Structure 1
Amino acid sequence: MELVTGDITAERVDAIVNAANSQLLGGGGVDGAIHRAGGGAILAACRELRRTSLPDGLPTGDAVETTAGLLEARWVIHTVGPVYPGTDAAGELERRRALLERAYRSSLGLAAALGAGSVAVPAVSAGIYGWPVDDVARVALGVAAAADASAAPPLVRFVLFSESVSRAFERAAREGGIPAHAV
């Protein structure tokens, strides 16, 4: 596993994970950046998914692939992370944390099933969805570390949008004894 601070749209990998919204039609943050950099082919593919297999949108925790358009990747894997609930009313935090784990697991699993040798992954739910970065880092790294060869590509590169997010991932790797290194 690698940890990189940078722009996920500039990564040269087989697959890029998009922290999408359920509508799959672009948005802000990572989602908007991927749609802008990848061009109209990604949006066209997402619209086709909505027209056919996903008329109600992509459920939280699931993942689906499209072309990467103009990006230096073969596929974009769209996943929807959960919104942070804020308080743990009746176990809601644990239920949503399980959805966050599922978003990472389904994204990495789909990348492996597609035959990707490398995947770039953002801090899903850590932006506008308000999930605490330290918790996202523990979940993301834990899922990736637990994945065997059939459940994740050989190279999982977490591409993080700021130095503070990168430090949170480095700390979580160190504290969890997870072999991830900054590049």
Structure 2
Amino acid sequence: MTYLVTGGSKMGKSTWAEDLALELAKDGPVHYIATFKPVDAEDALVIARHKKARAGRNFAVTEKHQGLEAVVIPPGAVVMLEDLPNLLANEVFDDGDVSSILPGLKFLKALAEHFIIVTNEVGSDGTVYDALTGNYVEALSFLNRQAACLSDVVVEVVCGFPQMIKGDGP
């Protein structure tokens, strides 16, 4: 089953998705694909905080900033992608291949028993952005729609509470 977990920034999406992944994995590992690429000391602190929060929990973490089809996971695994906005930013700003993202999602979906994609809700704030940011928001909105189509369940987390948008949630 594939889940898309969306919502605003700092609304509890990742915590909810991590709890779901661990529940689905039962006693097995969650194959956690971390896409956040540090560019400075502040980013390194964020990553250290995330690692500390996951410590002692059954996560097998792979840091993958681009090219999801190169990720090695066993068939039938529980996989969590954290997150789609960072993956897109890495592809856009590091001369990557944006067109590889959707096939990468389909690749992971085909391998995983359960695949959880975390993303951010963008484009509904009414803000007019500069061209580069506007293109990024448009691309992420497109990927979010495509990921929703691939997903059996779509959940929006609002203030820590999951709101089912599509399918029957856990």
TM-score (norm 1): 0.46
Relative to its length, the structure with more strand (as a share) is 2
- The higher relative CO (CA closer than 8 Å, separation ≥ 6) is in 2
